[in-house]
Amino acid sequence: MKMNRGTVLPFHLYRNIVRVAYPLILIALFLAITYKRDFSFSQKEGARLIGASYMTMNNEFFKIINEQIRVRVEAEGDMIILRDPGLDVARQNRQIEEMLDMGISALIVTPVDIDGLTDVLKRARSMGVYVVVVDSNIRDEELTDCTIVSDNYNAGTIIGNYVLDKQEGGRIVVLTHEATASGSNRVAGFMDTVDGHPGFEVLDQIECEGQYEIAMPRMLSYLDEGHEFDTVFCLNDLAAEGVVAALRQRDLAGKINVYGVDASPDAKALIDEGLMRASAVQFPTRIGERAASVLYDIFDGKDTEKTIIVPVDIVSVENIDSYNKERWQ
């Protein structure tokens, strides 16, 4: 039947179209309501669940480690769940307990406190959950399958030797994070290196938990108390950046020698500007890749090293141009 514009369908044809279309519409609505995407399409049968808990996720360092592990886990058809304790050891314990209840096969963990996870890791071991520690040790390494860390003591030593080589003397303030093995070892390496050298004196240690937002106000308070110093060693670059921010507020940036550990992009920018002198270089990409490799070696029943130490280096005002300033190592 030829139809012109404006032609109205005969009622019997309209009724037939509705009769055919109505069931199809109902079926489409049913599928739209009940269909759920299967996110496991890339996961193998019997996929493992991997738990991850780093001491804080406001540090890009841990994001890079986790990304390296996540890529490998998903490539293997497994799943990873990430929890952020935010430097709260009680919260980290609760989150790990929850992940154990979820049925994780392995745990990647950076402890908020060197002694703070003993009970929950004992439970993990009793359940047959593998434990891989990254970045900062736990005291009882019998509770771990493998620990992968930077050479943290040497990171402090490298900076200490640089200070001794480049400065004739130093009235030194040290920013610390006493609850962690990594921070304590860096500080110990630095202190042991400069100790006993004429003209070099450590005046004070300031606890900052390795956080910019704690380091900056505490350094401001220290400055306002009238202390005289010319050198600051920080356990990491976040603390060093907080120190530089405080020095800027008191018109002292570039006049005090500031040192850190990490060689983060932000710290390298400060070194390039002459607002920091040097930072010990960590390699989070290597740590993450190594952790992922060790994890699947453990799953495959292969022998693995109990402790893996990743070497460190130094970036300074002298060699900054040899490093990529825009990214981590």
Q: Are residues 142 and 288 in the same domain?
A: yes
Q: Are residues 141 and 288 in the same domain?
A: yes
Question: Tokens 């930072």 sit at which residue?
Answer: 279
Q: Are residues 278 and 158 in the same domain?
A: yes
Q: Digits of tens for pLDDT over the chain (329 positions)?
A: 444 444 444 444 445 554 555 555 555 554 444 333 333 334 567 899 999 999 999 999 999 999 999 999 999 999 999 999 999 999 999 999 999 999 999 999 999 999 999 999 999 999 999 999 999 999 999 999 999 999 999 999 999 999 999 999 999 999 999 999 999 999 999 999 999 999 999 999 999 999 999 999 999 999 999 999 999 999 999 999 999 999 999 999 999 999 999 999 999 999 999 999 999 999 999 999 999 999 999 999 999 999 999 999 999 999 999 999 989 98
Identify the domain containing residue 231 by its residue range.
152-282+316-322
Greatest CA separation for the chain: 107
CATH of the domain at 289: 3.40.50.2300
Classify residue 193: in a domain, yes or no: yes
CA separation (Å) from 180 to 89, 93, 144, 151, 209? 11, 16, 16, 14, 9
Q: Are residues 132 and 112 in the same domain?
A: yes
> What pTM does this model have?
0.83
Structural domains counted in the chain: 2
> How far is C-alpha 275 from the chain's CA centre?
24
